[in-house]
Amino acid sequence: MIRTVATTPFSDQKPGTSGLRKKVPHFSQPNYAENFLQAIFDATERPAGSSLVIGGDGRFFNAEVIRKAIRMAAANGVAKVIVGQNGLLSTPAASNLIRQRKAAGGIILSASHNPGGPDGDFGIKYNISNGGPAPEGVTDAIYKRTREISEYKIVDEDAPDLSVIGTSRLGETEVEIVDPVADYATLMEELFDFAAIREAIAGGLTLRFDAMHAVTGPYAKEILEKRLGAPDGTVLNGVPSEDFGGGHPDPNVVWAAPLVDLLLGPTAPDFGAASDGDGDRNMILGRGIVVTPSDSLAVLAANAHLAPGYKRGIAGIARSMPTSGAADRVAQKRGIGIYETPTGWKFFGNLLDAGKVTICGEESAGTGSDHVREKDGLWAVLLWLNILAVSKESVAEIVKSHWAEFGRNYYQRHDYEEVDKAAAEGLMESLRDRLASMAGQRFGTLVVSEADDFSYKDPIDGSVSTSQGVRIVFSGGSRIVFRLSGTGTVGATLRVYIERFEPDPAKHDLSIEEALGELVRTADAIGEITKRTGRAEPDVRT
């Protein structure tokens, strides 16, 4: 029985960089999740007879909202829903399922790297039929719908038992519960040389993968331990938990500190990696080295041809604007296209669909390719392992020879979290006000050569996205970027991205303080960070 329930709009359901994210108590207000889901059903196109993929990262509240989403899909005339067993699907696996099954789209329940639990974060995002995050035109339409919504539809019957793989019916709708790992693992076997990796592991290559109590545990166990023969215990924190073991499932030096300590310590394995809450980010480490995400993107792009799925080479590379220019140097040397997009994977979709680029990446530990339309943590791990297996070099050797060939882009991101919103917005506004007069200004030894507020015109559909971050470039090419996060749930998060290019191999072993110290101090001077936010230090440096 379909029930129509009266509701009133919430004013704060505008999707951010990657869907709608709020604290669980906020999301669990009566009708809050229902309104947003109904707005998705109302504002998106679903041809008759089409299916919808539904899954999430398993965080607190996931189980409840999954069941509601299935009942609402049935009430909204969706012919078929494809759901990950126990409601679990990593973001890249959901993207793959949408593509494999030719679904009209997917609903992914995740707040990614944000902490979970009763007081943690929750999120919902919509992906379109190419498997990628909805572009701004679609998220704008969903937001518009949330402002005028007056009712939602749900069936009275309960959703089926999500632990049982198989097909059942809910009203007119077919509900198929699928193994969340199988199709994804098969895709990885098609892209990478599993035999070579298996042989390298059997021959003594040692590794650890930290799933951070999040969704990648079952994927990593199946792929790394079962299919590639890595010993039991290779996957750390491999059982997904609703609150991620009380931590932040964010693969960086702060939240993955135990893994970092292991790789930098005396008993380090050859290779280490971690992924985030929903499995789309990756952190890459080697014995004695943490690979900066921007460098990882460049190394993967330069060496992708060593993996069977990319043996014919790559068409081009796209990176988000704040990501370092390391990938640009690879593209220039190889004579392939390079594209600079705003932050967020949704901006890569058109370029991938049009075949302009094969590999994409972001400084926030996101790398991926045209195999799906999301960034993909385990994909990056497997491409690294494939490169290690074929080249027979260590992670540190690969990174150092990469710098020797292409130059080194020293890079760091500073995050100031839960800053007063008005103060953060004032800081950005003040920067924007001063942009026109900035060129030519001197800060210590640094002279500003150009300054702007990044805007992007999509080369495929012509859509324009403005105000995507303030860029200040100095003569010599060093750069400081300021932007506000679009994924936080409390106050504002200010992100400051600092970069300096160094072509001279004799200067590739500087400490970050030596390489970037002056730029960091300049960022504070230009941005008035301490003065406006009251923060003398960032919360996280990555």
Measured from the CB atom, the residue of 270 and 280 that comes closer to ligand VG1 is: 280
- Choices 252-260, 277-285, 333-341, 488-496 (CB under 5 A): range interacting with Co ion: 277-285
Measured from the CB atom, the residue of 193 and 363 that comes closer to ligand VG1 is: 363
* Interface with Co ion, residue 533, by CB under 5 A: no
Phi and psi, residue 181, nearest 5°: -95, -35
Alpha-carbon gap, residue 380 to 300, rounded angstroms: 8
Residue 18 touches which member of ligand VG1, Co ion, none, C-beta under 5-8 Å by kind: ligand VG1
Beta strands 121-127 and 20-23 are antiparallel
* Interface with Co ion, residue 57, by CB under 5 A: no
Least CB distance to Co ion at residue 337 (A): 26
Chain positions contacting ligand VG1, by CB under 6 A: 17-18, 112-113, 276, 280-281, 320, 343-345, 362, 364, 366, 485-487, 495
Measured from the CB atom, the residue of 88 and 170 that comes closer to ligand VG1 is: 88
Least CB distance to Co ion at residue 133 (A): 11
Alpha-carbon gap, residue 80 to 94, rounded angstroms: 15
Which residue is associated with the tokens 């100031």?
Answer: 416
Least CB distance to ligand VG1 at residue 471 (A): 15
Helices (H) and strands (E) in the chain, counts: 17, 27
Least CB distance to ligand VG1 at residue 306 (A): 26
Phi and psi, residue 294, nearest 5°: -65, -35
Least CB distance to ligand VG1 at residue 112 (A): 3
Tokens of 267: 């008993």
Alpha-carbon gap, residue 510 to 410, rounded angstroms: 9
Residue 344 touches which member of Co ion, ligand VG1, none, C-beta under 5-8 Å by kind: ligand VG1
DSSP letter string over 356-388? S-SEEEETTTEEEETTSSS--HHHHHHHHHHHH
Residue 495 touches which member of ligand VG1, Co ion, none, C-beta under 5-8 Å by kind: ligand VG1
Residue 345 touches which member of Co ion, ligand VG1, none, C-beta under 5-8 Å by kind: ligand VG1
Q: Which of 210, 250, 270, 276 binds Co ion (CB under 5 A)?
A: 276
* Interface with Co ion, residue 112, by CB under 5 A: yes
| DSSP element (H, E) containing 501 | strand 492-502
* Interface with Co ion, residue 216, by CB under 5 A: no
Query: By the 8 A CB rule, do 220 and 250 touch?
Result: no
- The answer to whether the Cα torsion of 23, 24, 29, 31 is positive or negative is positive
Just list the catalytic residues: 112
Q: Which of 34, 193, 278, 328 binds Co ion (CB under 5 A)?
A: 278
- Choices 111-119, 282-290, 452-460, 518-526 (CB under 5 A): range interacting with Co ion: 111-119
Alpha-carbon gap, residue 251 to 271, rounded angstroms: 15
Residue 486 touches which member of Co ion, ligand VG1, none, C-beta under 5-8 Å by kind: ligand VG1
Burial label for 357, CB within 10 Å (0-12, 13-18, 19+), is buried
- Choices 106-114, 238-246, 257-265, 462-470 (CB under 5 A): range interacting with Co ion: 106-114
Least CB distance to ligand VG1 at residue 468 (A): 10
Task: Give the helix ranges, DSSP H, for 365-511.
Answer: 377-391, 395-406, 421-434
Measured from the CB atom, the residue of 13 and 90 that comes closer to Co ion is: 90
Measured from the CB atom, the residue of 280 and 362 that comes closer to Co ion is: 280
Give the type of residue at 358. Answer: T
Least CB distance to ligand VG1 at residue 199 (A): 32
Query: By the 8 A CB rule, do 218 and 240 touch?
Result: yes
Measured from the CB atom, the residue of 105 and 160 that comes closer to ligand VG1 is: 105
Phi and psi, residue 19, nearest 5°: 90, -170
Measured from the CB atom, the residue of 177 and 318 that comes closer to ligand VG1 is: 318
State the residue number with the nearest CB to Co ion.
112
* Residue 157: partners with Cβ closer than 8 Å, 6 or more residues away: 1, 71, 74, 170, 171
Residues in contact with Co ion by CB under 5 A are 112, 276, 278, 280-281
